[in-house]
Amino acid sequence: MPHVSDVLTPHDIGKFTNLQVFAKQVVEGFCSGLHRSPHKGFSVEFKEHRSYVPGDDIRSIDWKLFGKTDRLYIREYEEETNLRCTILLDSSGSMGYTGTRSHGLTKHAYAVRTAACLTYLMLQQQDSVGLVTFDKKVRRYIPPRARPKHLQAILGELEKQNPKHETELGSVFHEMVAKLHRRGLLMIISDLFGDVDQLMKSLAHFRHANHEIVIFQIWDPDELDFPFRQWTQFASLEAADNRHLVDPAQLRNAYLEKLNQFREQLANGCNRHRISLVPMTTDQPFADSLAAYLALRRRAK
């Protein structure tokens, strides 16, 4: 059965102007395909009984109640909201790039939608979610809450985003360490453009504070295969006076080599610090980020 999320590729994004509707569609479409409902937590506090339906784990059948009623009930528990998740969304200028294959969706827009989906999903699971937007400094910090109303606050903030400034990931992350004093899960949605060493130092700093980190690295397809042919002036999205007129064919190979080197450094660094690095391109379905997140959660259990 095809995932509903498969349908919701960036191509269809135009239909969803409302982030909440969008996130709901993606997350619920995604979750309906899973055997075990992610809506239910695993906490010890009893919540309610419900009728057994085929597909439920038989271990969760309340055999005592079966003895009394001769009917199969599933015993559900209130999940413990032990997860504090903070989404760190990169709003720097470089996130504003949009190529021909991403259907007018900038990397930032893609990142915003990813963040919305993640927020929606986690709030559905009664996890607390916070949001940090930043470029060269922290622009907005919404501390984590688990209330369903919190969704509005986060989505409202996400909709206001407009990427334009330079990035300084290293210093921003260092700055963040002080603010996020309780350990939790950090979801960084960024292109990670910048100095790798600085970045790794700051990530190490997070790790030192016992944060668990997953990075969704957003790529535009153009950035990965450099498809330009004719003479092009590349103007920096972050610094107005930084432009270079070049023959792209001439430096494509060098660029790709440099790119691979960069990705390799990142991968190695993340590996070293046990950080999950999930590369995403803007032409991929959004549900991939959710799948990646869930896989991560399952591993963590």
Partner 1 sequence: MNQALLWGAAASLIPLVIHILNRNRFRTVEWGAMHLLESVIRVNHKRFRLDQLILLLVRCSIPLLLAFCLARPVLTGTQGLEGESPVSIVILLDNSYSMETNSETGTRFEKAVEAATRLIGETSRGSEIAVILTGGIPTRLFDEPVFDSDVVIQKLSRIEGGMGASDMQAAVDEALVVLAGMSHARRECIILSDFQNHDWEVIHKDTLQAIRRQFESLEIVPELSLMQLGKPVQENISVDSLSFPRRALGVGQRLDLRANLRNHGPSNVENVRVIFRIDGVEDSVTQLQLAPSAETQVLFPGEFKTPGSHVVEVEAVTDDPLQADNRFAAAVTVWENIKVLLVDGAPSSQPLQGETDYLSVALTPLTFGRVQLLDLVETETIQVKELDEERLKKSRVVVLANVSKLSDGQLKLLETYVKDGGAVLVCGGDQLDLNWYREKMFLDGQGLLPVSFGPLLGEVGEKSSSTAVLSQRFDHVALEFFNDPSNGDLSSATIRRWYQLAVPSEASEIVTLAMLDSGDPLLVEKNYGEGVVVQMATACDADWSDFPLRPVYVPMMQQLITTMASRISPPRNIQTGDSAVALIPDLSDQVTVSVVTPDGLQRSVKTVTEGTAQLARYEETQRPGLYTMSLPSTEAIHFVAETSRAESSLDLFDEKELAALADELSATVLESPEQYLKLDRLRRHGREVWKIALAALLGLLFLELILQQRFARVRA
Applying CB under 8 A, the residues found at the interface with partner 1 are: 93-97, 107, 191, 193-195, 220, 223, 228, 230-239, 242-247, 249-255, 257-259, 261-262
Provide the CB-side half-sphere exposure for 84 (13 A, CA): 11
Provide the CB-side half-sphere exposure for 162 (13 A, CA): 1
Minimum distance from CB of 246 to partner 1 (Å)?
6
Q: How far apart are CA 75 and CA 57, in angstroms?
A: 11
- The candidate with the shortest Cα–Cα distance to 190, out of 107, 119, 116, is 107
Nearer to partner 1, 36 or 244 (CB): 244
Q: How far apart are CA 65 and CA 61, in angstroms?
A: 9
Q: How far apart are CA 173 and CA 299, in angstroms?
A: 25
Nearer to partner 1, 34 or 249 (CB): 249
Nearer to partner 1, 126 or 190 (CB): 190
Nearer to partner 1, 35 or 229 (CB): 229
Nearer to partner 1, 60 or 265 (CB): 265
| Token pair for 195 | 């100095």
Amino acid identity for residue 108 in this structure: H
Provide CB contacts within 8 A for 11, sequence distance 6+: 103
Minimum distance from CB of 243 to partner 1 (Å)?
8
Minimum distance from CB of 199 to partner 1 (Å)?
12
Minimum distance from CB of 294 to partner 1 (Å)?
29
Minimum distance from CB of 90 to partner 1 (Å)?
11
Nearer to partner 1, 29 or 248 (CB): 248
Q: How far apart are CA 181 and CA 208, in angstroms?
A: 11
Q: How far apart are CA 115 and CA 159, in angstroms?
A: 11
Minimum distance from CB of 237 to partner 1 (Å)?
5
Under a CB-based contact definition with an 8 Å cutoff, are residues 106 and 9 in contact? no
DSSP codes of every residue in 115-154:
HHHHHHHHHHTT-EEEEEEESSSEEEEEEEE--TTHHHHH
Nearer to partner 1, 6 or 195 (CB): 195
Minimum distance from CB of 278 to partner 1 (Å)?
18
